[in-house]
Structure 1
Amino acid sequence: MPAAVPASLRNLLLLLLLITLAGQAFAQQGQTHVVRPGDTLWDISRQYEQSPLHWRQIQKDNAVQVPEHLKPGQVLMLGGNVAIVAELTGSAWLTRGNAAQRPLARGAGVQAGDVLVTEHDAFLSMTLADGSHVVVPSSSALKVLVINGQVVRFELLSGRMESHVEKQNGRHFEIRTKSAELGVRGTHFRVRDEDNVVAVEVIEGKVAVDELAADPRNLLVGVAHGSLLSGSEALQSHQLPAAPERLESAIDGDILVAPQADASGYRLQLARDDGFLQLVHEQRSILPRFTLPDTLAPGFYHLRLTAFDKRQLEGLPSDSTVYVAASASRRSGAESLGDGRYKIRWPGRSGQTFRFELARTAAFSPLLAQDPAFYGTTVTVGPFVVPGKYYWRSTDISTGAADSAAALSFSGSFEVPAP
């Protein structure tokens, strides 16, 4: 019969087990270490892994080429994590191995083999050990294949990803789609698999494309160029659409874009930071006009606009800042003033001219009132003595706006009660 374990030793072993489990839990949640002067991988391994012997794994996960040359301020990924969820807006999910899908949170660790999924209007940004950033916009799915000291490899399952890749210094940064594999040498680029379009678009640097086929072709896509990765025009380099110009400098609910002659559509993104890692909203429109939702908190945002060409290649971005007003000021409607008069308002900007019309029918015939050149976004009508439904509309007739697809137009109705 084995000898009984002394209580003091049993308690010590239990304490060590709890410390180990706690360390593993912290690491799984995305624990990192910021290098301080004098730090060594040996000491860091002993601090977080309860043994200095795991220093080589930390070196491999963080692509540390010379263990003796840690840089103060450098961020090291721990516990098998190869990336950290740096920013997250909305709901995103992670699947690891055969475990059930679980929600992601800011600061969570990401490991090789993980699958990340963003829901509609959700945005996720990851930071890798070398300082590269990967942005996964809404309605996208991405698998982390390999991240180590030699190779970074992702697989885009659906949707989009945008990467800001640091110079790789001999390492390989690769992204696989269903039809091609992309090799990156330090650049800013997008990869998309959405709406039956698989494409790569290079904002800065170069991307090497190799087909996944029995007789593969290859292509080097340069700055401001893109290529479809499937279809009849696959693996041809095309100039990307120019960065679109935003019209007006102030905003009250609508963003107007200067129309581009060959554009098939436009995309809008709003972010809290100028690097667009903290995305909060995006839209796509076939018209050069976007209406912002009432759910946006008022304040300043960074605005990014892009245009799509006839091939559905997405062009170069134009970035600016924009102020979003409180949601109440972005709505149109009629308010009773209690004396038979009604105050009607609609979104607009300083300097705009509107044509205002009022009628008893939705066809606006005949008109009860018309102001062909109204300056402002608020008008008071009445008093009314005849009960019933009244219809109103206002149309932007500012210089150049009336004949534009982006011209602002608002309409509504109100009910005058019987006395």
Structure 2
Amino acid sequence: MNKIICWLVLLLSVMSLPLSAAGQDAERTVEIRVSSRDTLIGLCQKYLTHPEKWPQVSKLNRLPDSNYIAPGQKIIVPVALLKGLPMDGVVSFLQGEAYLQSSGNSAWRQLQLRDSVKEGSSLKTAANSALEISFEDGTSFLLREQSLVSVKAAKKGPLHLLRVLRLEGGKIISRVKSATGKDSRFEIETPSALAAARGTHYRVAVDEQGTTRAEMLESRIDLSAMGTTVSLKEGEGSLARRNEAPSAPIRLLGPPEPQALAAIYGNASSEIRFSPVQNAAQYRVLLARDQEGKNAVKTAVIKPDDPFVFEGLEDGGYYLLASSIGQEGLEGPLSKPYEVKVRRKPLPPDIVLPVDKATLPEMPLKSQWHNVIGVSGYQLQIATTPDFSGALIESGDLKKTVYSSKELQGGTYYLRVRSLAEDGYAGDWSATRAFSVVKLLPPSLHKPDGNDNKLYLEWEPIKGATGYHLQIARDEAFGTIIIDQKPGESKLVLENPPEPGKYYMRVAARNADQETSAFSKSGSFEIEQSKSYFYEALGFVGGVGLALLLVLL
């Protein structure tokens, strides 16, 4: 007798256990409305994969007589028994990286746009990535970054459309289209709950602790866990922790509104603040290229008092969307898309003058650059350091592409120019030009000439020079100087040329204050033995000869 009581207690305890999400899999059913002349066996032959299982349908419906069903009567049929064809999904949107595993033991492969996704596949997204899978009936689901989901079922039959996803982690956003005349089910299983919907738009997320959060955006959804089902209407959410029933419906918070949206300039750091939403713990903000927020270029979860900060965006148009997150972690609907424009930066001009690394005389400096179409003006800087700290010259809004600066003292300088937009916004600086300023430029040598037993030497006259310093040596290093004179003109005639051989010449300019320029680059000439007063100029060594040739031309 005691054994019988123990068995009864055990049996009752088993029967009272709540159904898990997996246990509910066998309970999915569709209804068939009986028409005239329908029979149970005939319906099973039409709709069941194995018609011989009609007794199971009869038992489920508790039919007193399996041979008689009345017109208008509803017959419940398990979805698992129905005929069905696999319904493949297609990658309709892809941002970043996403991967597919066709079976449990196969290798993961990277997905591409328009790839097919079959029943039994698993999908995962990388950081800063998103993946959308669409079906032929218009139903779709969007996986956010670092999400993992498996497609347990995706099939269609004459009476039903069924898709079952298993979300292990991350967030999934579902858009389910109602199917006229069919039982359309879109279900998302998680480690702690089951979300089932009909013709709706909703989100399901699983965090690292295995807590499931469901957020209803349109129509309604049922969230089930531990034998308890909660029906969520539009604008409601619920959460289910592991081994716990789902919470009662919680009203989702409305989205925050941006306080001000001005134009965002290029790579400059920008920030946007939002209006307060009562009871909001955080805001989720995203900047996307599309109005739905799928193609997000920047996302962040911020505190209500903090700004949404971003930088480095390419020029163009974007959409800002935001949602509120309550104290329990449920996220409300996204705001309407706010258009954000990133200004196209004015291009920097190309500098013509001064030439990079040029040596210039001490006089008003002429700067010149190419015109940039569509700008209102330019700004110029000249400094003694390449980082332009403490710029010596900083112009205002220049309307022309030339600029003459005041006289600069001798030294090394750096120059750059940038374009200005109509509203005064300045673009990036141009490439930097370095140049040197000296009081006197070194002269350029002309070819020597010989005639009437005389040697004629000449060089380019230098502005501001009152005299010159000429040296002729036997060696290129000017270690052995044989002639060292300071003529007042830019030429010199040697009545008694040196003996035959090869010689090197250089010259510097002098002013009234006895300040001297650098020596010119040296040139060489040779006096032949056969004609003591005749010589032939052989040009200047290396690059010097080329420089003189250009001057002579």
Q: What residue is the counterpart of 2:171 in the other structure?
A: 160
Q: 2:311 aligned with 1:299, yes or no?
A: no
Q: Which of 235, 238, 250 matches 2:247?
A: 235
Q: 2:251 aligned with 1:245, yes or no?
A: no
Q: Which of 391, 395, 403 matches 1:339?
A: 391
Q: What residue is the counterpart of 2:288 in the other structure?
A: 271
How many positions carry a matched residue from both structures? 262
Q: What residue is the counterpart of 1:220 in the other structure?
A: 231
Write the deviation string for residues 328-347 of structure 1: whole angstroms up to 9, x where unpaired: 89xxxxx737625899xxxx
Q: Are the aligned partners of 2:202 and 2:217 in contact in 1 as well (CA < 8 Å)?
A: yes
Report the Cα offset of residue 92 of structure 1. Answer: 0.9
Q: Specify whether residues 377 and 299 from structure 1 end up closer, same or farther in structure 2 by C-alpha distance, changes over 3 A only.
A: closer
Paired-residue identity, %: 25
Q: Specify whether residues 342 and 267 from structure 1 end up closer, same or farther in structure 2 by C-alpha distance, changes over 3 A only.
A: farther
Q: Are the aligned partners of 1:156 and 1:193 in contact in 2 as well (CA < 8 Å)?
A: yes
Q: Are the aligned partners of 1:218 and 1:235 in contact in 2 as well (CA < 8 Å)?
A: no
* 3-state SS, counterpart of residue 138 of structure 2: coil
Opposite residue 300 of structure 2, the aligned amino acid is Q
Q: Are the aligned partners of 1:81 and 1:110 in contact in 2 as well (CA < 8 Å)?
A: no
Q: Are the aligned partners of 2:193 and 2:212 in contact in 1 as well (CA < 8 Å)?
A: no
* 3-state SS, counterpart of residue 273 of structure 2: strand
Q: Are the aligned partners of 2:287 and 2:297 in contact in 1 as well (CA < 8 Å)?
A: yes
Report the Cα offset of residue 99 of structure 1. Answer: 1.7
Q: What residue is the counterpart of 1:67 in the other structure?
A: none
Report the Cα offset of residue 233 of structure 1. Answer: 8.1
In the alignment, the residues of structure 1 paired with residue 345 and residue 206 of structure 2 have an alpha-carbon distance, to the nearest angstrom, of 37
Q: Specify whether residues 175 and 191 from structure 1 end up closer, same or farther in structure 2 by C-alpha distance, changes over 3 A only.
A: same
In the alignment, the residues of structure 2 paired with residue 88 and residue 102 of structure 1 have an alpha-carbon distance, to the nearest angstrom, of 14
Q: 2:221 aligned with 1:207, yes or no?
A: yes
In the alignment, the residues of structure 1 paired with residue 119 and residue 296 of structure 2 have an alpha-carbon distance, to the nearest angstrom, of 24
* 3-state SS, counterpart of residue 273 of structure 1: coil
Q: Are the aligned partners of 2:215 and 2:238 in contact in 1 as well (CA < 8 Å)?
A: yes
In the alignment, the residues of structure 2 paired with residue 226 and residue 188 of structure 1 have an alpha-carbon distance, to the nearest angstrom, of 13
Q: Are the aligned partners of 1:247 and 1:258 in contact in 2 as well (CA < 8 Å)?
A: yes
**Counterparts of 1:312-327 in structure 2 under 5 Å?**
312-325=329-342
Report the Cα offset of residue 80 of structure 1. Answer: 6.1
TM-score (norm: length of structure 2): 0.44
Q: Specify whether residues 219 and 336 from structure 1 end up closer, same or farther in structure 2 by C-alpha distance, changes over 3 A only.
A: same
In the alignment, the residues of structure 2 paired with residue 341 and residue 157 of structure 1 have an alpha-carbon distance, to the nearest angstrom, of 63
In the alignment, the residues of structure 1 paired with residue 165 and residue 335 of structure 2 have an alpha-carbon distance, to the nearest angstrom, of 27
* 3-state SS, counterpart of residue 90 of structure 2: strand
Q: Which of 148, 151, 165 matches 1:144?
A: 151
Q: Are the aligned partners of 1:251 and 1:322 in contact in 2 as well (CA < 8 Å)?
A: no
In the alignment, the residues of structure 2 paired with residue 108 and residue 238 of structure 1 have an alpha-carbon distance, to the nearest angstrom, of 38
Q: Are the aligned partners of 2:204 and 2:213 in contact in 1 as well (CA < 8 Å)?
A: yes
Higher relative contact order (CA 8 A, sep 6+): 1
Q: Are the aligned partners of 1:297 and 1:326 in contact in 2 as well (CA < 8 Å)?
A: no
Opposite residue 282 of structure 1, the aligned amino acid is T
Structure 2, gaps ≥5 residues long: 1-84, 265-269, 347-386, 396-423, 427-553
Report the Cα offset of residue 278 of structure 1. Answer: 3.5
Q: Specify whether residues 142 and 326 from structure 1 end up closer, same or farther in structure 2 by C-alpha distance, changes over 3 A only.
A: farther
In the alignment, the residues of structure 1 paired with residue 281 and residue 123 of structure 2 have an alpha-carbon distance, to the nearest angstrom, of 30
Q: Specify whether residues 249 and 99 from structure 1 end up closer, same or farther in structure 2 by C-alpha distance, changes over 3 A only.
A: same
In the alignment, the residues of structure 1 paired with residue 345 and residue 299 of structure 2 have an alpha-carbon distance, to the nearest angstrom, of 21
- Specify the structure having the higher radius of gyration (Cα): 2
Q: Which of 250, 257, 260 matches 2:274?
A: 257
Q: What residue is the counterpart of 1:106 in the other structure?
A: 113
Q: Specify whether residues 254 and 238 from structure 1 end up closer, same or farther in structure 2 by C-alpha distance, changes over 3 A only.
A: same
TM-score (norm: length of structure 1): 0.57
Q: Are the aligned partners of 1:302 and 1:319 in contact in 2 as well (CA < 8 Å)?
A: no
Q: Specify whether residues 204 and 254 from structure 1 end up closer, same or farther in structure 2 by C-alpha distance, changes over 3 A only.
A: same
Opposite residue 200 of structure 1, the aligned amino acid is A
Q: Specify whether residues 233 and 210 from structure 1 end up closer, same or farther in structure 2 by C-alpha distance, changes over 3 A only.
A: closer
**Counterparts of 1:72-83 in structure 2 under 5 Å?**
82-83=88-89
Q: What residue is the counterpart of 2:530 in the other structure?
A: none
Opposite residue 187 of structure 1, the aligned amino acid is T
> How large is the RMSD of aligned CA atoms in angstroms?
3.1
In the alignment, the residues of structure 2 paired with residue 340 and residue 83 of structure 1 have an alpha-carbon distance, to the nearest angstrom, of 65
Report the Cα offset of residue 88 of structure 1. Answer: 0.6
Q: 2:136 aligned with 1:84, yes or no?
A: no
Report the Cα offset of residue 209 of structure 1. Answer: 1.3
Opposite residue 205 of structure 1, the aligned amino acid is S
* 3-state SS, counterpart of residue 264 of structure 1: strand
Q: What residue is the counterpart of 1:173 in the other structure?
A: 186
In the alignment, the residues of structure 2 paired with residue 341 and residue 156 of structure 1 have an alpha-carbon distance, to the nearest angstrom, of 63
Report the Cα offset of residue 312 of structure 1. Answer: 0.9
Write the deviation string for residues 350-386 of structure 1: whole angstroms up to 9, x where unpaired: xxxxxxxxxxxxxxxxxxxxxxxxxx999xxxxxxxx
Q: What residue is the counterpart of 1:96 in the other structure?
A: 102
In the alignment, the residues of structure 2 paired with residue 326 and residue 228 of structure 1 have an alpha-carbon distance, to the nearest angstrom, of 42
* 3-state SS, counterpart of residue 246 of structure 1: coil
Opposite residue 135 of structure 2, the aligned amino acid is L
